[in-house]
A = this chain, B = another copy of it.
Amino acid sequence: MKESVLKNKHIAFHKDTFNKTTEDRRQKVLEAATEEFAANGYNATSINVISKKSNISIGALYSYFASKEDLFLSIVNDAYDLMEKILKDVAKNSRDIYDCIERMLAASREFAVKYPQLNQIYLDITTQALSPLAVRLSNKLEIITPELLCGIIRQAKEEGRIKDDLDEKVISYCMDNIFMIYQFSFSSDYYKERLKIFLGEEKLKDINDIEKSIVKFIRAAIE
């Protein structure tokens, strides 16, 4: 899959100085900031608290990042790069489209479970209030899954593995909607509760079965 020309891999929201400090300090900053932003949201998070939690002085924070906004976007950006890498790996290593869908579901869930805070932050940045911030990511956020999914669907279509009469764009969109909220269901309390209400406590115990059912749903739709 060829590299997107739209995506600027070199956006950086930190100052040069952040590269020059020790790895330990970088980690402490990002860890504390991620915790706070995830738990409180962008607006209710205090830079002073991040400073205290990380044992990095406010002055240092401001020498690494020009503003609270930049620190936040830096984390979002990294999170996105991580998710992108994971999804691309999945796409590359899948046998066929249904295998791919199943792996993507699992990967989404695993990401949400492993990095619940990143997922919570991701949800946060989709809100209207943060759209001025999201703009600075130059749509980076939305590009990866459309490209991946459309590519997979197109390929499957060419191989005759899916119905001819379905609009591949709409299919990708529907599938991504399913994936996206499924992923949120493993990090935000709201979507967790929603998952539980839809599926019932009992069913939640066998995640594998749920994912198989979702794949089955999608497969029935497109095969």
Contacts and interface: CB of A to CB of B under 8 A. Distances in A.
Given A43-B44, A197-B142, A198-B169, A220 B217 contact: no
A63 to B, nearest CB: 10
Nearest to A219: B221
Contact of A172 (B123, B128, B187, B198): B198
Interface stretch (A34-42, A50-58, A90-98): A34-42
A142 B178 contact: no
Interface stretch (A18-26, A66-74, A77-85, A129-137): A129-137
Interface in A141-200: 141-143, 146, 150, 163, 166-167, 169-174, 176-178, 180-182, 184, 187-191, 193-195, 197-200
Interface string A195-210: 1011110010000001
A210 B170 contact: yes
A141 B193 CA distance: 10
Contact of A188 (B126, B197, B198, B214): B126
A124 interface: yes
B198 A130 contact: no
Contact of A173 (B43, B141, B169, B199): B199
Contacts of A41: 41, 43, 127-130
Nearest to A121: B128
Given A190-B127, A193-B139, A166 B39 contact: no
A178 to B, nearest CB: 5
A126 B128 contact: no
A216 interface: yes
19 contacts: A120-B129, A123-B126, A123-B127, A124-B127, A124-B128, A127-B127, A131-B189, A131-B190, A134-B189, A142-B190, A142-B194, A166-B217, A170-B216, A173-B198, A177-B178, A177-B181, A177-B182, A217-B222, A220-B222
Query: Nearest 5 pairs between A and B by C-beta?
Result: A41-B129, A221-B221, A43-B43, A170-B213, A120-B128
